[in-house]
């Protein structure tokens, strides 16, 4: 077959460029965020707003883990809050009770939740993916009770108090902790980007799309599901430690199911499989109720409003805008790209949002329908 004539020149040196570009974007994003504490000190930003934004970034870290799980692997976890809480209490216990310092406290908050996550995964991921949701809910209930009852570890409902950590001999405060959170977020964004853009990410993609195809391609499905879930719990533990170091207290009631659901909302609203989208989702779900809704006249006082806000957004986004904020951004960007002449002769760029309604040939449609039937694997 003589097909070499159709071959387009593709310099292979450009292969790694996208990765570098993305990393530069993350770094610039982080640098801009680091200006916020400076702005706050100059009086241009309220300290309470800075705190709200810090929590947005912490939740963004946790949500990025869940996006790996939900977006790339198609798995649901309902135990996120439990793992974040565990990270927070471990950080406090290691820093304040055992006096082992910032780094060991951070390490403990990363390692132990991940190990528990691995155990839960091994137990639940062998049957159906949905079992992970129930098993993680199970472990989250157990953890919540532990936070309430294990007084020597958590001080129970009275709440665990902590203080700003000393990092590299430097006593941190609100502003420096904010910078540390930003650094952590940028690292997590880079790691996530690397994970999803290499062979790992392709394996996760294939697994979500069709487990049988993934297996036929040599992907050990259980191993990759476990990988995604443990990375998600690792991020959750990190988020918990940062939460504690920033807020300097933790109460059991924080780590309930609704925090887990809010994290899911962040991922869905931000856009599955989008890194910046997840950060934006964290902002919408956490900061908008905090900064905007609560200040509205009349309805601002309604207690259940943030719940309704998150819940309705989940439903509406999945129903009408499955690509989330990321899809919105693409939609806005596309005309500009066209102006710049970014379109290759071969058609629309690969960044086309998955919800685009381009008509596909009947054959492909049928194949897609068949795939779903297979994927859902009804009992024989």
* CA gap 200, 113 in Å, rounded: 22
In angstroms, give the least distance from the CB of 97 to other proteins. Answer: 22
* CA gap 81, 254 in Å, rounded: 8
- Considering only residues 298, 319, 332, 339, which one is a binding residue for other proteins as defined by CB under 8 A? 319
> Looking at 55-63, 95-103, 194-202, 275-283, which segment touches other proteins (CB under 8 A)?
194-202
- Considering only residues 21, 39, 220, 342, which one is a binding residue for other proteins as defined by CB under 8 A? 220
Q: Does 3 bind other proteins (CB under 8 A)?
A: yes
Q: Which residues of 197-219 are buried (b: 16+ CB within 10 A; e: fewer)?
A: eeebbebbbbbbeebeebeeeeb
End-to-end, the C-alpha distance of the chain in Å comes to 43
* CA gap 13, 273 in Å, rounded: 26
Q: Does 371 bind other proteins (CB under 8 A)?
A: yes
Binding residues for other proteins restricted to 86-125, rule: CB under 8 A:
120, 122-124
Q: Does 360 bind other proteins (CB under 8 A)?
A: yes
Size of the site for other proteins (CB under 8 A): 114
Task: Give ∠ CA 234-75-228 in degrees, rounded to 5.
Answer: 35
- Of 21, 14, 12, 180, nearest in space to 91 by CA: 180
Q: What is the dihedral of CA 261, 188, 192, 120, to 10 degrees?
A: -50
- Considering only residues 191, 287, 293, 331, which one is a binding residue for other proteins as defined by CB under 8 A? 191
Query: Is residue 268 packed enough to be buried (19+ CB in 10 Å), middle (13-18) or exposed (0-12)?
Result: buried
Three-state SS for 346? Answer: coil
Query: What are the residues facing 161 on neighbouring strands?
Result: 249
Binding residues for other proteins restricted to 34-53, rule: CB under 8 A:
none
In angstroms, give the least distance from the CB of 380 to other proteins. Answer: 4
Binding residues for other proteins restricted to 67-86, rule: CB under 8 A:
70, 74-76, 78
Q: Does 63 bind other proteins (CB under 8 A)?
A: no
- Considering only residues 28, 32, 292, 364, which one is a binding residue for other proteins as defined by CB under 8 A? 364
Q: Closest CB to other proteins among 172 and 192?
A: 192
Angle between helices 174-197 and 47-67 (to 10 degrees): 20
In angstroms, give the least distance from the CB of 120 to other proteins. Answer: 7
Q: Does 294 bind other proteins (CB under 8 A)?
A: no
Q: Which residues of 24-47 are buried (b: 16+ CB within 10 A; e: fewer)?
A: eebeebbeebeebbeebeeeebee
In angstroms, give the least distance from the CB of 318 to other proteins. Answer: 5
Locate 236 and state its tokens.
């959750």
* CA gap 58, 43 in Å, rounded: 23
Q: Does 9 bind other proteins (CB under 8 A)?
A: no
- Considering only residues 52, 176, 195, 249, which one is a binding residue for other proteins as defined by CB under 8 A? 195
In angstroms, give the least distance from the CB of 274 to other proteins. Answer: 12
Q: Does 298 bind other proteins (CB under 8 A)?
A: no
Q: Does 374 bind other proteins (CB under 8 A)?
A: yes
Q: Does 183 bind other proteins (CB under 8 A)?
A: no
- Considering only residues 22, 34, 100, 200, which one is a binding residue for other proteins as defined by CB under 8 A? 200
Q: Does 328 bind other proteins (CB under 8 A)?
A: no
Q: Which residues contact 286 (CB under 8 A, 6 or more apart)?
A: 52, 55, 56, 59, 262, 266
Binding residues for other proteins restricted to 143-162, rule: CB under 8 A:
145-146, 149
Q: Does 340 bind other proteins (CB under 8 A)?
A: no
* Count of residues in the chain: 380
Q: Does 304 bind other proteins (CB under 8 A)?
A: yes
Q: Does 166 bind other proteins (CB under 8 A)?
A: no
In angstroms, give the least distance from the CB of 166 to other proteins. Answer: 28
Locate 291 and state its tokens.
């900064």
> Looking at 40-48, 161-169, 211-219, 335-343, which segment touches other proteins (CB under 8 A)?
211-219
């Amino acid at each position: 077959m003589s097909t070499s004539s159709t071959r387009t020149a593709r310099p292979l040196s450009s292969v790694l460029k996208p990765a570098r570009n993305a990393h530069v974007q993350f770094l610039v994003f982080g640098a801009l965020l680091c200006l916020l504490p400076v702005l706050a000190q100059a009086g241009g930003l309220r300290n309470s707003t800075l705190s709200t934004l810090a929590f947005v970034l912490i939740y963004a870290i946790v949500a990025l883990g869940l996006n790996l799980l939900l977006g790339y692997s198609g798995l649901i976890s309902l135990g996120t809050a439990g793992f974040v809480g565990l990270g927070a209490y471990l950080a406090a216990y290691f820093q304040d009770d055992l006096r082992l310092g910032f780094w060991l406290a951070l390490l403990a908050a990363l390692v132990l939740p991940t190990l528990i996550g691995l155990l839960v995964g091994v137990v639940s991921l062998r049957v159906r993916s949905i079992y992970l949701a129930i098993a993680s809910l199970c472990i989250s209930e157990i953890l919540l009770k532990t936070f309430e009852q294990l007084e020597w570890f958590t001080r129970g409902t009275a709440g665990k108090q902590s203080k700003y950590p000393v990092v590299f001999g430097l006593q941190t405060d609100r502003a420096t902790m904010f910078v540390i959170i930003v650094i952590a977020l940028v690292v997590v964004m880079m790691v996530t980007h690397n994970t999803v853009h290499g062979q790992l990410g392709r394996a996760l993609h294939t697994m979500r799309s069709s487990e049988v195809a993934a297996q036929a391609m040599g992907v050990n499905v259980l191993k990759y599901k476990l990988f995604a879930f443990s990375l998600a719990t690792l991020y959750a533990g990190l988020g918990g430690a940062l939460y504690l170091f920033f807020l300097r207290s933790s109460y059991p009631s924080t780590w309930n199911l609704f925090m887990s659901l809010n994290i899911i909302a962040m991922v869905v609203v931000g856009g599955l499989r989008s890194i910046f989208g997840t950060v934006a989702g964290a902002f919408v779900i956490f900061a908008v109720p905090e900064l905007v809704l609560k200040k509205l006249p009349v309805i601002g006082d309604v207690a259940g409003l943030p719940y309704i806000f998150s819940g309705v957004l989940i439903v509406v986004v999945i129903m009408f805008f499955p690509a989330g904020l990321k899809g919105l951004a693409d939609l806005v960007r596309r005309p500009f790209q066209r102006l710049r002449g970014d379109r290759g002769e071969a058609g629309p760029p690969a960044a086309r949002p998955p919800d685009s309604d381009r008509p596909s040939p009947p054959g492909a449609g049928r194949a897609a329908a068949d795939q779903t039937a297979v994927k859902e694997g009804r009992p024989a």
